[in-house]
Amino acid sequence: MQRRLKILTWHTHGSYLYYLTQAPHDFYVLSKPDRPPGYGGRCGHMPWGDNVIDLPVAEAKDAAFDCILFQDDDQYLHDQHLYLSEAQRRLPKIYLEHDPPREHPTDMHHPVDDPSMLLVHVTHFNALMWDNGRTPSRVIEHGVIVPKGVSYRGDLARGLVVINNIARRGRRLGGDIFAQARESVPLDLVGMGAQEAGGLGEVLHAQLPAFAAQYRFFFNPIRYTSLGLAVIEAMMIGMPLVALATTEMATVIDDGVSGYVNTDVSALIAHMQALLADPGLARQLGEQARRRAMERFGIERFVQDWDRAFRLVTGL
């Protein structure tokens, strides 16, 4: 058996961290007493495994690790110098980039420019758009787990949108497109801050697949961000998707086969109306979406990819 590795990281995206910690290693997650963003440690409603260890920042310099996994610019540029020893900062390092570039879509240099590190992108689109400089990079696509016994029903003739804080994040997250579509199609919005945009509120991650299963389709109005885990989780339960044909989404949905993608919002609205009128069509597309997700986003492949990355940088 290969040795389990000790990996230091941060609580940047809770659902991603949960899936990441399915890998056969021990994850030490930094925390502060008031659990501010990025320093939640082992907290929240996720069913964390025994391999997820809460590590107060005051104790970090005394701990032994095999690898450091950064997930945010501040962690890499500033926080490591505050909380880690000089010896720890010489350990093998990975930067996990969750997003596409913000300031410029094609000419933005990634903040990591270090040939001794590994830069991991979560989609091929993100890797394509960033200028990765001298840093070796690879793509590890998402992997998800859906609760047993949860499958698509689609008996509620409404569409579901899952976006956090859509009212504050504006056009990039498609707030205007959601408002436009809602004038013609019955849509429910869930996520943090959803009530600010007339939505229902937040649904806990573990409960979201079962909650989503009742809806006829999943609508993703986002213009420019990374591929959302909620999209993949919806596909995994057999839910048809309707989305803008932008970023990685253009490769995830086979138009007319597992859902609909287009850059014409009026065309997407017409497709949503067709799904509301034809439950059989929705089930047919949803089954193809489920097959696509099982082939591409299985947790076993995800875990294997991360295990290879950790062993590559540590030389094990």
CA 142/CA 297 separation, integer angstroms: 6
List, for residues 243-295, the tens digit of each pLDDT value.
999 999 999 999 999 999 999 999 999 999 999 999 999 999 999 999 999 99
Please report the pLDDT score of residue 19 as a whole number: 98
Asked whether residue 232 carries a pLDDT value surpassing 70, the answer given is: yes
Tokens for 37?
Answer: 């963003």
Phi, psi of 60 (to 5 degrees): -65, -40
Degrees, nearest 5: CA angle 268-13-120: 85
Amino acid at 49: G
Stated as kind and residue range, the H or E segment containing 219 is: strand 215-220
At 310, is the pLDDT very low, low, confident or very high (cuts 50, 70, 90)? very high
- What is the pLDDT averaged over residues 223-232? 96
Higher pLDDT, 44 or 30: 30
CA 145/CA 199 separation, integer angstroms: 26
Asked whether residue 67 carries a pLDDT value surpassing 90, the answer given is: yes
List, for residues 155-183, the tens digit of each pLDDT value.
999 999 999 999 999 899 999 999 999 99
Amino acid at 275: L
Burial profile 294-314: b = 16 or more Cβ within 10 angstroms, e = fewer: eeebebeebbebbeebbbebb
Please report the pLDDT score of residue 316 as a whole number: 82
Sorted by sequence, the CB contacts under 8 Å of residue 189 that are 6+ apart come out as 161, 162, 163, 166, 178, 197, 198, 199, 200
Asked whether residue 62 carries a pLDDT value surpassing 80, the answer given is: yes
CA 50/CA 53 separation, integer angstroms: 7
Please report the pLDDT score of residue 1 as a whole number: 61
List, for residues 90-133, the tens digit of each pLDDT value.
999 999 999 999 999 999 999 999 999 999 999 999 999 999 99
